[in-house]
Every structure is written in structure tokens, then in C-alpha cells.
Structure 1
């Protein structure tokens, strides 16, 4: 019969809960970047989470078969796990804010996850018995700790890499939305060519307007591509100002796919042309804001400002085509996108 671990587990959980609370309210270190070595930070971080995983696995294996540890022995086995988590927490709080908010958020999430995974593992020890299903559950919880350790190994190396992940995810969302509406429009046109008693989505006027709308969505996708390429080629985070510019563009880009979704949703019946036009303006405003940020950033150097101007013209042109009164301009968005190798 296994000795009750209740008191030992309660003490350990209190310790782990305090660490979780500290992480949830974490705002990062205000220290300068001058004396901080990010490379050394990653080495230390991966080393400590590996030790946590090893110690949790060791305890899990000990509990997999008799003789089971006494409460005192369990307390001794939990001590190194707590010590490693305390070191992990201390290490996290050395990460300067100036490295970037996106990176800090990623690290916070990953460190919190492994801390909570260990908390759940320890919590289960309070109800552990020698029954097979309990041992299987303990192995499952050990696996969650392993997964959390692996996630830390996959963290972006700096704020530039962290922001690139957001830009790539946003581009995927916009591309999915674009593919969807293009497929629907293509199917609609094929149905019209076939003729017969086929229920159509739009009348002629609506279909013409929707096709004009697609051009604006294409431009938004092109904007995603160019922002991602610019950050990839020129993005830096050696200074707090550079990291802040990357943080800002990551926050702004998150507004793009919701604006695209609202715009495309308004194209479907019941079709309101006023709503379509209103959503076109809202989308173009988001795009123009992104373009202005890009133009004044370190990751779009002066010699590459041309694409910003091109996409600004394309945005205005395609938005105007959706409006009731358009201004005459001589710029074709298709030509612009071709010039940018984005057609």
C-alpha cells in the first residue's frame, strides 16, 4: 500500500503556484541590452528545461513499479524539480523588454506552459495509487512535460523571427480567404456559361462588383508577401527602437485578415452594396496604415520604397473601383503587381 503523499504534494504545489503567479504578472526586465547575451540565454534556458524533463521522467519511472517511495523520499525527489523551476523563473526574468514584446510573449507562454505541466504532474501525485490506470495517467502527464520542453526548443531565436511567424500566419489567412472567393467567383462564371436552370449567387451587377473587390483582396495578399520579405531581409532587433518597430508591425498586421474576412463576407447574399463599399474602405485603411508603418521603418530601406508606393497606388485604385464615384487614374493594379513579381 502506497503511503499518502498529500502533505508533500500540497507544499510542492504551493511553491509551483507561486512561480505560476509570478509568470502571469511578468512584464519583463527593464535592464539595457548592453550586458545581455541572448545566445547564452538560450543555452541556459534549454539546459534547465532539459533537467526539469529528466527529473520528472526519473520520478515517473520510480513510481511505475514497487517499491514505491515514502513521503519523505518523494519530498527529496521533488526538491530538484522545484529548484530547476525556480532557476527557470529567475532566468526568464533576465530577459530585457528591449529585445521585443513579441519574443517576450512567446517565451512567457512557453515557460508558463512547462511550469503548469509540472504543476499538473505533481498535483496528480496527491491521488496516485498503484493501479494501472493511475500509472498510465502519470505517464501521460510526463509526456505533456516533454512536449512543453520541446516547444521551448522551437522558440524563435529573436524578435525578428517571432514577428516573421506572425506575418506568415497572417499571409496564410489572407491567402485562404482569397482562394475561397476566387473559387466561388470562378464557379459562378462557369455556371453562367453552362446556362440552364442553375441557381446563381449574384446578379450581373453584383458579380461585376465582386470581381472588382477581388482585386483589392489580391493587393492585401501582395502586401503580406512584401512585408514578410522585407522583415526577413532587413529586419533587425539589435536596438530597442528596431524591436519596437517589429512589434508595431506585428500588431497592425493582425488587423488585416479580420478586415479581409469582413470584406469577403459582405459580398455574399443577402448582398448589400453599401456594406461592400464600407468594408472596402475599412480594408484599404488597414492596408494604408501598414504601408505607412513600413515606409517609416528600418526594414524597408530607402532604395526599396518603390513597392510601398506601388501598393499604395494599387490600394487606392482598387478601392476606388468599388465606390460609386471613382477618380480617374492611369495606374493598373495588375501592372503594379506584375512589376512587383506578385501577380
Structure 2
């Protein structure tokens, strides 16, 4: 059928369809609530008695069924043969979709309680993405049951049900998170490196530039940016090395327990945002004390990451604990260098507020004289 609605279907039939779709939307919302509750309080058995491969194979089959049923329903609704009396065929397809949704919820409920909080959250987000797309689709066909405008929402369901890149173990998920964070930190470092090289860092406001020579302030900003860049590069090296631990000749630290992987992921998820804040601080003048706080924040997050990897290395019987200790020392040295620079800046610019106020007074006097 074309993009126009099938006018041959009577209003009573359309209303019956809407009733079916409305009930399904309610069921979908209940499913979302249950999945969210399960992510916070897993009720499955121990991981030792659980087959993750079978779990994800079953999960993939259910996702394919959901995608297939949406496609089948869309074809029926937009075809010229859409039933003009009775909606049993449509009800049958929706029932199949409801069964697949129930099976998806049951699978979420089977996830082991000791698989790790972060991995449970990951499973929940994967399921909720499918559920959200399914709700969007049924809301579209509830509003316009016979319109071809539903095609876009069908595509979203297909995309959410595609599990090609899903992390099927806590170890895979940990690696996935680290690699994602590594790419983000590399982007931040590359951007800052370009700014330093081309000397395009923003200088202070007009009033401050009038009070302190622009050359002096620009040099201070560039020196800070170079110190921040050194820290950012070290963070990128640390996260990159950790993410590629499976590809090294050493035994990987990823063979540790899910609980330790959980602490690594928890720290890793905070890395890019903290680095972004630190890098952003170099694009415009910032007092030394707030910048020091940002540096401390990055140092604490990476230290937590390295402590967890070190413990994981000891548990897995690898040498990664030695690497973690060495990287912590390297990062601490870079952070101390910036701290010393900031302390020096505080001393040399201690009269900055006075100079700024003095310059504002001069500007106001000049403006008043010009007006007279």
C-alpha cells in the first residue's frame, strides 16, 4: 500500500486494532520496569553454574523473533490485503511479539547474581534499548495503524535487535568499555596537542589582558596546556595498554573474578568525562585552584583503575600488578609537575585581582571622560 492509509478498513476495525496495540504498550512498559528492577537486584543462580554462551544464543533468537514479528505486523498493516473484518491475524502476531517479550524478561531474570553490577547494568541497557524501540513502534501504529509512516520505527527495532557487537562475557564488556574510553581520551589528547602546536589557546578577557601582558599570560596558559597534555597522554597509554591486555605476550589480568572486573569498569566509565573537563580547562583562563581540583580528580580515577587492575593481576597470577604500580608512579610524577607549576602561578599572579580591578576603574574613568 502507498503512504496513504487504507480507507477500505472500517473505523470499528481500526479501533479494535488500537485496543490491541494499547494493551501491548502497557505490557511493554511493565517489561521495562521489571528489567530495570532485575538489573539492580539479580535473582539468577551462581555464575559457576551458568552457561553464558547459551544465554546469549537464546537472547539472540528472542531478539530475532521480536524483529521478525514487527516486520510481519508492519507488512500486514501496510498491505492492500489488510483485513476489513476481524483482526485475528493481527492479534496473533501481537501475541507472538508479547511471548517473545516475556521470554526476554525471563532471560534477564536468569542472569547470575554474581556476574557483576556493571555487567547486569549492561544487559539491562541492551534489553531496554530493544524494549524502548518496541514501545516506540507500537505507539506509532497505535496512532496511525494503517500508515506507511511506521517504516522508520521498524528500522529502529531492527537496529536495537542487532547483537553483532554485544559483549557476551564480563571480560568482553570490560575490554569494550576500556577501548571506548581509550578512543575518547585519544581524541581529547589529539585536540589539545593541535591547540598547543598552533598556539590557538584562548587568552584572558580584555580587562585582564590589559592588566597583564598578553605574552606573559599566553605563555602561562601554554605551559599549563603542555602539562595537561602530558597527563592526558599518560592516561591514554594506561587505558590503551589495559584494553589490549589480551593481545600482549603476558598473561592477561582479565582472568580475574567478575567482581574485580566490575570495579575496573566502574572506574573506566568515569575516565573520558574527567579528562574532557581537564582538557577543556586549558582552552580558557582558569585559576590554579580549580585546575588543581580537576587534576586531582583524574589522578584519583586512574589510581582506582590501576589499583583494581593490579589486584586483578595478582588474582590472575600475572605481572600486571607491577605494571600498575609503575604507571601510578608515572602519573603521579606528571600530576606533581603540574601542581608545582600551578603553585608557581598562584605566587606570581597573587596580585591579579587588584590589577583587574584597577584596570576596570581606569576603563570606567576613560568611558566617563569620553561621554563628557
Shorter chain as normaliser: what TM range? 0.7 to 0.9
Equivalent residue, structure 2, for 1:227: 242
**Structure 1 residues 204 and 46, CA gap change in structure 2 (3 angstroms):** closer
- 1:49 is aligned to 2:63: yes
Q: How does 1:178-189 map to 2 (within 5 A)?
A: 178-188=189-199
- 1:66 is aligned to 2:77: no
The structural deviation recorded for 1:142 is 2.0
Q: How does 1:297-336 map to 2 (within 5 A)?
A: 297-298=312-313, 301-324=317-340
Partner of 2:340, secondary structure, is coil
Inter-partner Cα distance in structure 2 for 1:277 and 1:125 = 54
Equivalent residue, structure 1, for 2:119: 103
The structural deviation recorded for 1:262 is 3.0
* Contact 2:309–2:320 under 8 Å retained in 1: no
Structure 1 gaps of 5+ residues are 190-198, 327-343
The structural deviation recorded for 1:231 is 6.3
Equivalent residue, structure 2, for 1:330: none
Inter-partner Cα distance in structure 2 for 1:269 and 1:6 = 55
Q: How does 1:3-42 map to 2 (within 5 A)?
A: 3-4=13-14, 5-26=17-38, 27-42=41-56
Q: Deviations over 1:43-98 (max 9, x none)?
A: 11111221222222222212222232223332223211211211222122111132
**Structure 1 residues 61 and 248, CA gap change in structure 2 (3 angstroms):** same
Equivalent residue, structure 2, for 1:138: 150
- 1:167 is aligned to 2:178: yes
* Contact 2:44–2:109 under 8 Å retained in 1: no
Inter-partner Cα distance in structure 2 for 1:120 and 1:259 = 34
The structural deviation recorded for 1:215 is 2.0
Could you say what the CA RMSD is over the residues aligned between the two structures, in angstroms?
A: 2.9
Q: Deviations over 1:250-283 (max 9, x none)?
A: 1112333333233333334424234434433333
The structural deviation recorded for 1:302 is 4.6
Equivalent residue, structure 1, for 2:365: none
Inter-partner Cα distance in structure 2 for 1:77 and 1:262 = 49
**Structure 1 residues 170 and 128, CA gap change in structure 2 (3 angstroms):** same
Equivalent residue, structure 2, for 1:256: 271
Inter-partner Cα distance in structure 2 for 1:116 and 1:259 = 30
Q: Scaled by the length of structure 1, what TM-score is found?
A: 0.79
Inter-partner Cα distance in structure 2 for 1:204 and 1:122 = 59
Of residues 309, 313, 325, the one that matches 1:294 is 309
Equivalent residue, structure 1, for 2:161: 149
Higher alpha-carbon Rg: 2
The structural deviation recorded for 1:120 is 2.9
Q: Deviations over 1:158-211 (max 9, x none)?
A: 11111112111211222122112221111129xxxxxxxxx7694434433443
Equivalent residue, structure 2, for 1:123: 139
* Contact 1:202–1:269 under 8 Å retained in 2: no
**Structure 1 residues 274 and 149, CA gap change in structure 2 (3 angstroms):** closer
Aligned residue-pair number: 311
**Structure 1 residues 235 and 72, CA gap change in structure 2 (3 angstroms):** same
The structural deviation recorded for 1:300 is 7.0
Inter-partner Cα distance in structure 1 for 2:216 and 2:77 = 63
* Contact 2:234–2:331 under 8 Å retained in 1: yes
Equivalent residue, structure 2, for 1:196: none
The structural deviation recorded for 1:242 is 0.9
Structure 2 gaps of 5+ residues are 1-7, 201-213, 343-372
Inter-partner Cα distance in structure 1 for 2:129 and 2:223 = 50
Q: Scaled by the length of structure 2, what TM-score is found?
A: 0.74
